[in-house]
Each structure stands twice: as structure tokens, then as C-alpha cells.
Structure 1
């Protein structure tokens, strides 16, 4: 067997070495034929190339036959024997040369033959040497193989057969005979490739609906014709002999090319399924009322668009109070569904996110219907899903009342008069419910607009203006605009208590707790900034109140939030009462003496910024009163047209006060709340007879005309300019802080300065509404700057801020503070160090700490986040 295999290997080896030029030439010849080059080159080039290829092939065959020699068995035996040590096969054929007839010599020779015979049993077939690199130093065989592989991938082996047809036909037929080409191009949204009709062997072809067929005919007109039944065309059908034809496939049928070399195909249409869409979860809302609705869309190819229709579910509306009347006609809300920017749209999940807090349907029963569409215009629709359209929830009572009347006005214009009456009744005693004079004056302005509507009617533009004003007022009442930290803290506590009673969601609880924490920090800063140095001998002895620190207060608020999220509202209310008592004790302690000292640069900047905020608020109030005076003046001028010429304006205003005593009393109560009791007398005196004040310009019933900002728009502009310049100096004197909070504070103060500049220009031009809008923007920017500056001071952990807040890392004995924990839930050491040996699985707080750590790791692995945030997350992970 080894001899036979070795001989076969020798045959392969000699065939390869003799005939490798033959298949190299064959590869080079067949590759262009498979690519169809013979169909496009001139006939002369085709024949010349064919002759050269034939001669080359004959030469290589002749050379191979001459070189090839059939291997003999002896050659195979010799090759096997050469691989064995001592050539045992040749030894077995040898004869004893000397010592013949000598028994000892013959015994030695026999033993030698036995050893050689044993070695032949290890004989193995010898592999052939198929390498021809020495004969092909330029690698021509590899080049030919590469060309052949490319032809197999991009060409067709059936094109080789057309060479015989061209060679057998007449010259005229070869040059001008009938030839055709055709393509079927599926719609782009399917993602399927274009089909070449000449490559389709089977007569049954399945293609998507909407595919476009293109056929080109070559040769003399009329030699070939095209017929089809797939387009469904009845009008404007081109002649069947047109050289180029194109049509869209709309139904199953046949396509045929009739004539010499024609073909026929049966076309089967693939049905395009309609898309589907489903809601994959309940609608959710965050603390600000922004809704999130998950959905799943599917199609056999791709979904191109989608819409969500939100319609009022009138049958489920609680028809009480302002909703008892029939609603004004209002179209359903139609919004576009979000589509993936990239990737496959055949099957995807997305989230519909939008904010409908200001829409008339907010917090009302509605139905939501999703609809998606594919490229053919087919649609898929969900069943109307009844939901409560999420919107912002208000917990402050007067804010809720304002929002409810806004809803009633949007429900029906006929509710405008009723809304004015309700709002006037609600604001009967303003000193008990309004946090400042500005909000009350704005409400009075809105009420007068509504009462005036009863005479002139309510248009759509006026209604939109009124509801926008009511929304801004409700937001201001809910969020508050107080510069005093103590009032803001009380405000945050009241909102949180309202949320406890009304069953707020987890998102709303988190937002209110964050507001309470910020108000607490501002209040602690205010206590530290207003503290006076003392010798420590008059410290009040109030038990544990001496050791209460800000960290313990934060722990108490964390516990309140945890109880509220668990639904244990009674326990949360008890802890809230304890927190209120602690804050009252802190106020008493501060009044009797504190641990204050010299202010740090950061504390001084906070105090100056708070003072700027108070001054800007006061200036905005005065500008609003000036605008109100203009509005009242316009009404009084209209009434004076029916008066006698000698009647002065002061008397007319006194009559108006007599007709509306309740309103003036409410205004006086509000003025008393603001500490401007002197205004009452001034207003009364003006109402009784000081009508001459209107001759020089705007009247001033605020009692602050002597301060340079009451009735002169120019003086208001000068005060605004002074505030802007003071803010500029404050920005230049800010302490050097680093971090995102410091950058946010700088941007907020820059935005506030720009708004002040715009307000100053508006005041100089007499545009009070524009000035009030810019002042409101400046107030918002100042509040953001104050909050960010406090956060920046805390993040930088300066010694000045620690002294200002009065915090410490432990009690007098040096033990860890109760519930004093690091961000991962571990108890702090006696020296304020992070970490301990205690178990991380001991209670609910530690479980939440593990969740926090996992969230930090997940966020740090998202490379799309800003680099500064990633660095901050890695520092947190390295530390904890």
C-alpha cells in the first residue's frame, strides 16, 4: 500500500509541475468571459484575444505532454526506500557476495536480512512535492486564481455559453442581433437587492409590492417585444417594441420578452403586512408633570411615521363646579411619535415624552390612541386607552384655586365671570394667604380683566392671555418668590405637609424634599450670617438642641422622605412636627446669641447677593404698581367722560372707593402685611381729593414716591441701573470657587445682569410690561445664582462655610454623631473619616446605599457623558 500511494503522489506531482501553466491560462481566459467582457468589446478584439488564448493553451499543453513522464513502480519503491534508514528494501534484493557455504557467514547474512525485513514494516507513503514556486517565480498562478474568484463572485458562469452562440451565428446576427437586459428594483424601504433578470433561472420570482421593473431591448426594433400583466395599467400603455420600458409591479402576473432569445417569468407578489403598535406600560409622570408613555411598534419592513391622539373622555369627567356647563369645542391633541434616529425600524421600543401641564386636558380623563404608518401608507392603530393626562400638581391652596379657575375658563368661556367671583372671594383676606404684595396685585389685575370681560366679551386671544397670566401666578405662588430664608423654609414645610395630606407621588415627594433641603441650607446660612459675636456666657441650655447639627437635620429629613415613600404618613407628620420645633428652637437660639463670628468672603457674597435679590424684588413690585396705576388711570379717564367738567379726579376716585369698599380693605390688609402702613393714609387722601397729582405723569398710591421710584419711570430706571452696577461689582468680588456649581452661579449672575440691563432700557422707554418681564427674569436668575453659589461653597468645603453653617463632625465627647453616615450609608468615624467595619447589609439605608453605588458604577461606564462628569464619578468611586 505505501508503494501504491507513493506512486499516485508521484503522478500528481508530475502532472502539477508539467501542466500548471495550462490551468493558469484557463483561469485567465474564463474570468473575462464570466464577467461578460466579450459582450461589450469590439468583435475584432474578441477574435484576436480568442486566437491568442487558443495558441497559448496549445503551447502549454504541448509543453506539459513533453515534460510529463509516467512514474514506474521502481521509482516509487526507491522513493519509499530512501525515506527508511539503511535502505532495507534494496538490502533485501542484495545477494551474499562472500562467505557462501560457510554456515557462520550464512547465519550472519540471514540475521541481516531479518533485520532489514523488520525495518520494511515501518515503510510509509511519501507525500508528493506539489510546489512549483521555483518554476513560477512571479506567482502567475495566484494572479490567475484571484481573477477567477472575482469572476465567480461578481459574474455568471452562464455567460460563457453565449460565446458559442456568438461564434456559431452570422456576423450580422452577432453585431445587430436581438439582445435584452432587465432589472427588478424593490422599494428602498425593504432593503432588498436589485435582481438581474438574466441571472434568474427559475421562472417563478417573488418580489415585494411596489417593485420597479426596467427592461432594455437592443437590436432592430420589432425583433423583441415585451408583454406583462403585473402593472395593471389600462391607460397610456407604451408600445411593446419600445427599446426601454419601465413599470411598477402592483399585482401578481407574468413578464415575458418575446422573440429570438426571449424569456418569461411568473411574478408572485409578497404581501406587505400592515404595521402594529402597542402600549407596553402605564403612563408615568415626573414631579413637574412631564408624561412618559412607552410603546412598541413593529412592521415587516419599517415604520416611517406615527402619531398619538389625545382626546377628552367626556363621559368620565366629574361634571361639578365649573365643569357643569357644556365645554367649548376643542380638537383632540395630535403629536408625532418619536422614531429611532438610526437602526432598524421594523421592531423598536420608544418612549413618548411630552409636557401637557398647561393644556386644558391636563389632569383630566382622556383617551390616548397611537397610530403608526409604513411606506405604503398602511396604518396600525391601538384601541383608545383611557388615562388621566398627567400634569403638574399644585399643593399650595391658593395656587390650586388659581389653577382650578384657569381650568374652568379653558373649559368654557362662560365660566369667566364665575371665575372672577371665585378668585375675588378667595382673595378677600390677602394678608393671610398671599406671600407677598406682588402676587396679590397680579391677581387683582387678572380679576379686573375678567370682570371687564363681562361687558366686552371674551375673545380667544384675551382668554389665552388671561390663562397664561393665571398659570404664571399659580407657579409663582407654588414655588414662592421670597427672599427671606425663614419665610421660604416655612413655605417649603407647608407645601410638604400639603403633599402628605394629598397623597403625592414619589417624584413629587423627592422634589418637595429637595426644595425643603435647599430652604434649610439657606436658612442656616442666614442664621450664621446674622449672628453676633459673644463671650458664650448667655448660651441657652435646651438639652439636645445644643448638639443638633445640620447633618442631623439632613438625616431627619431623609427619614421623613423615606416614611412618605413607604406610605407611613402619620409617622412622617410626627417627624415633621419635630422638625418644626427644632427650627423654632434654632430661631430662639439665634435671637439669644449664637456662635457667629466674622463673615467669610463667601458669606459676605451670599449676603450681598440676597440683598440684591430683595432690592430687585422691591423694584419689581413698584414697577408693577406703576403699571396698575396706568390701568386704573385709563378706566378713570373713561368714567370722566360722563362727569361734569368741574368734577376733579380725586372726587371720582373717592366715589369709586365707596362703591368697592371690600376691595380697598383687602388692599389695605395687604399693605399692612408688607409693613407699609403709611400707604393707607396716602391712598385715602388721594381718593378724597388729590386729583392734581395726575397732571405731571403717573400717580403713586404706594406711598414710596419719596424714595425715588414711585411715580417717575426715570427714577425707576436709575435705581435699576444702580442695582445692575452693584451686581457687576459683586460678580467681580466673588471668591475663587471651582466646580459645576460655581460655573452655574457665574452664568446665572451674568444672565441676571443682562436682564437688568434690558429692564433698564424698557423703563427708560416707558415700557412697563416689558420691564416687569425682564425684572422677573432677573429675579429667577438671581435665585438660581444664590442657590448655585451656596452649593459651590458647600462643594469646595471651605472653612468659612463650615463656620457659617455651624456644623461639626462629632459631639463634645468625640463620638460619632447619630445617623451620621457617608454617601454609601456607612457610619462616620470619630475623626470624620469615611468608612467602617460594619456590615453593608444591616438595614434599609444600607440597601439604598448599595443602589447608589451601583448607579454610580453604571453612570461611570457610559462614555457618552461629559468628561467632567465621568471624572467626578470616578473620584466618588475611588473614595467610597
Structure 2
């Protein structure tokens, strides 16, 4: 029975072979999926990213970082799979299959009878039981695998990876996976030829150095100024080239080394390297930008009006950008007496900008700081001055503090000087207010002995009342400045005064100049006193003119009746010529003659009276100046024409008399030799042989010297006209003065060239002088138009009619206000060469018309000869 039982069991189990196999296979799949789902998720995600080509659109550093992360994730998933995966056993498969059958028949078939195996009845029951279990086991079906892992993947990462992979299959390409291999070092060896990078080293603009194209610079040393901008552009596959540098000193968040566009600033020496195909390495040496330098050349100079001139020099390797001067009160050096005995009110440093050259090189220059600090509280007090300059790299340099006395205006009137001293004490400290009021009351105790005008007495009394009233409540800063301004105006009025005080200052200036000449003063001191005399004379003339206007208003019918025929009339130009003559005598050392001329000038000024609208035909100062400049321009044109004729004859010594007469100037006549400079009508006699040649050369040299003398005289006349030029202080007037300065310098060059018989250079300088004169006349005309812009309209229409009748042969309007030039363009939008040919043809046509005036024909002939 026992044997039957075992056979029956084997037969029953043999029928479970296929269900058991498939159940075991399902268990294998279940164990494998549960162990490898993280690895599958990582693999699918990485493949999806590569198939979509995301590695080609990001920087190589990001690809490298993602590769490292993916590798670590894959390694972790693989370790997890190895540790969790187990092969299912046959017994485990039988248990899984038995669990699906009612009564666990497989287990029953494998059991043995524990008791009653000797009892026949018991054994019969056991066999019947196993027979029934065998029938049930024969009905077993394979158990399906349980692949659900939701509890292990709560975020459904496996589904995300599957979805991304599906998208990659649809929109991506499996061939893109291979592009990641090109990002490895050396993978781009076979890229296309040509520049795969470009670079530039741009020096700072202030250095003036050109931009360097780095592709043209071989490996090795590279010198660039500090602050140079390095710009690099990388082409081709991202990551094929990388940049490394140690010159910028950058910290913090930096751009990727493989970024296609990179730029940085060189701040120190180091190395720049481009790694990859066609890369290059440079050893960068920084050219240092040295700090600027500044120094004070000597102490400040000042005039009687308090204008200070402080010369200084500055230099920098690339040029100075700006500078300033700082003045601070030198309290230990102050004479602490009277109103300065108490502690001063705190005041900030006095800061002014240093003048810089408008044109030219700023690498090294000398300039002078010219300022007027007469009204500053520290005027005539010890101060320390520090000059500082700044270059384009914002490097700063400054001088050591230098002790000076801040220049201020000098007051010669005792009363004005006393008021200015109390003003200084008021600005020193507001606590001096009461004391200042008492001193000013003492000064004004006897007004009839102190004041020349009652209005000055009233103004001083008002200042005293205002000062004492406000001092009882405590002065504010605004009130302090207001009273100080009133005291300055009062002192200035007392110093400059009216006609009598102006005459007194003129006498004092004349006496000081006489005394300086007797004492043998230096040339610089005499020049300063001469300038003071000129200022006193100008002030006296202004006061005289003002007094004449007041007299005319009071007696309108008797203003000019005292002018007899025996009276001598003088204008401002005559006075300027007299003072120029006095200064010339002093420079020549003829002091006795200068003193006599100075005495005559004073007597003439004291006996002078101003007349209105006489002596110049009713012309205004501007019209007189314009007329004088026009005459100077005509004289200069004549000199230029005669110099041009002499230049022609210099290259054609055999020319006959009158051959170049079309180029003669105002005083130029026919012929050649010294007749040219003398303006004679006859011809220079020429002999045969050596004597004639020598005489001709001598005459030509004398002619050049004569032209040079006339040029010098014309330059002196221009200097005189500049001294009386109206419109001072206006932009147009300043422009006119600048233009006349240029004309004067050009005349000096022309004179020097004439003395050296260099006619070509002289003509060039004379042309520059004439152009500058025209510019000055135009600017002066604009100034006069600005002053007369409210004139009558009828007068303006009449001027327009006259200009319409005075068009030149080319159809242009002449310049206004006597100007001989015009700003009207000749081309007027047409082609320049065609217009030039048309003009030349018209000149030739008119020169062939014999009925035209001789003056016009000569002018047209000179145009044809020159052009």
C-alpha cells in the first residue's frame, strides 16, 4: 500500500509540470521587474533625452554634469537590482500554485501519514484522501505573475520615463544618441578647417592704442594696457573649445568655459588659453597705467583787482582728465588780533576746477588757475592750497599743502578799506556783529569829513542799523551773507566813486608809475602799474561819459555848444595810441620822455569833456570799429597782392615793367625792384651786365623789407583797434576778439616771412590773416545786429534794398555791417566741379568784353592769373 501511495503521489505531481513551469516563470518575471524597475527608468529617461538631442542645445558642462548624475543613478539602480533579485525555487513555485487550489492538494500529496499506518481502515481512508487531492491537483492552472509595484514607486517615475521615451521615439531619432561622443576631449579633431574662434584685445580709448586681433598674434607674450577688454567668440560644436584665463581676477558666478561669447577685462598679468582644435595660449603682460603728477610752479600772482593767477604743471602717461584746487584756512598762520581773535565760524574747503588745455596734448602741460576770490571770507588771509588731478583710469595725484595768502582786491580809499576789514570780521564770525556795529559808528562819527557823497553815508547807516537789529536776535547764515554783500557794494562804490574819485585814482596811478620809473623798478612791476593806469583811464572815461549823459539830460540844449573850432577832438583810439607810446618809451629806457608824455596825458584827461554824436559823423563805436577793420582788411589785401607780384617776378627776373601790374597792391605801381614797395609809377632802371643784376637784387631785397615794415605797421594798427573793440562780455564780441587774435598771429608770421624774402610763406600767412579778419568782422556784425534787433523795421527794409542793389558779379549778397565777406555758399547744392568750370568760363567771357570798366577787367585778370 505504501508503494501504491508513492506512485500515486508521483503521478499526481507529474501532471503539474507545465502549470508549475509557468508559475515559476511568472515568479521570475515578478522578481526581476521588482528588482530592475529603477534601472529601467534611468535607462529609458537617458535614452529619451539623447534621442531628442537635448545634449546639442546646452553647454558641454551641463552635458558632463548630467552624464555624471545619470551614471551614478544607473550604478545605484544596478546595485539595487543585484541585491533584490532572487531566482524562484521549485518549492516556492509549488507553494504559489498550491495556494490557488482548494484544500492545498499539492501539499496533501506531499504529506505522509503520521499515525494509523498499521490500521487497514485508516490506510484506506488516507488513500481515498490522496486520490481526491490528486484529482484536485490535476485541475491546477498556472499562477500569473504580480507585476504591480505601485507601493515601491509611489511617484510613478516608471511611467514618466516611458512617456518621455515614447515622445523621443515619435519626435526624436536614435541617431542623435551618437552626438554625445563628439563632446569628449579630442573628439573634434576632424572638424572643418578655418577659424573656429576669434578674439580681440581692445585697449581703453584714452590710451590711443589700436585694437589687437588675437588670431594674428602667435602664442607667446602679449602686452596690453591695464583695463583692456578681451573679447572671444567660439564657433562650431559647443564644448569643442574652452577658455581659461588668469588675468581678470573674476570671482563669484562665472560663465561656462565653453560659452560661445566671452569677454573680460585685464587687470593683472597672467595667461589666456583657448583649449581645443586650433587653440592658442598667450602670456599676458600688463602695461601699467601710472598715476598722474601735478606740481605748483611758483606762488600766486595777483593784480590790484584781486584776480589770482596760480601757475601749475601736470602730466600723465595718457593724459590728465580733470583737476581741482582746494583751499583751506591756515588757522595757525592767521594773525589772531582784533576781529580775528575769536574762533571762526566753520566753513568748508574752497574748491575750484583747474583749467585744462582745450586743444592739444594733455600728457604734459602747464596752465594757470585764474580766479577772483576777492569776495570770499578768506581773501587776504593765509590758506593752504592743494592741487589734485585725475586721469582717465580714475587715478588721482595731489600736491603737498602749500601755504599762501589768498589774493584779494586792494582798496586804496581809507573808508573803503575800513568797511572791507569789518566785512572780513563779520564773515569770520557772526559773534563780531555787535563789535562791527560799534566800529562802523565810530568811522561815521563825522560824516562831513569822511564821505564824499551823501548816498554813501546813507548806505553805511543802513548797514549799521540792519546789523545791530539782526545781531540782537542772532544772525543767520543768509543774513550774514546779505549784510556782507551790502558792505562789499558800499566799499566798491566808495573805492570807484564818481568822476572826481575816478580822477583821483587816475592821479594816484600816474604818481605810482612816475615813482616806479624814478626808483628803477623792474619791468614786471612797471607793466603791472601800466595795466593799473589803463584801468584807471578806462574808469575815468566811463565816469566822464556818464557825467556827460547826465549833463545832456539836465541841459539838452547846451550839451554841445561849447565845442569851438580851436578845440581838439580825441577818441578812445587816440588815448590807446598815447598809452602805447608811453609803454614803448619805458621799454626802451627813455624814462624822461615817458614821464613827460605821462604828464601830458594826465593834463589832457583832466581837461577833457565828452561830446555825444560828434567827431565821427554820428557813428556808433561798433560802426567805427567795423570801418577800421574794413580798412585794415583792404590794406592787408593790398600787401598780399603786392607780395604775390613780387613772388612772380622773383621767378621771372627778366619781366618788363608793367608785366605784373595786374597783381599790384594799394601802393604797388608798375615795374619791379624797389619801385614795388615805394608805389612809384616809373620803371626800375636795368643796366647791362653784373651791375644791373646786383642793382635788381638789391632793389628786390629793399622791396621785401619795405613790405615787412608795412606789415608790422598794419599789425600795430590791429592791436590798437583791438583795444577799442566793442561788445566785451558777449559771445559775439568774444568771438570777434578771438578772430582778431588769430589775425594778429598770422600777420606776425607774414612779417617774419617777408623779412626772410619768403614770399610764398608770407602770402599763406596773409591769407590766414584776411580770413581771420573776415571772421572777426562777421562776429562783430552779429554783435551789432544783436544790439540793434529792436530797431525800426523801415531801416531794416532799406538795408535790404541796398544789399539787393549791391550784389557782386557772381550774384552773391555782400556781408552786412561793412563786412567784405559773405557766408552765402557758392555751390548751392550743385556739383562742385561743374560749378567751378562754369565760373571759370564766365570769368573768361567777361574778361574779353572790352567795354567793361578797367577796375573790373584788372580784377578778372588777376583771377585768371591766380587760378
The two structures have a TM-score, normalised by structure 1, of: 0.44
Larger radius of gyration: 2
Highest RCO, 1 vs 2 (Cα 8 Å, sep ≥ 6): 1
The two structures have a TM-score, normalised by structure 2, of: 0.44
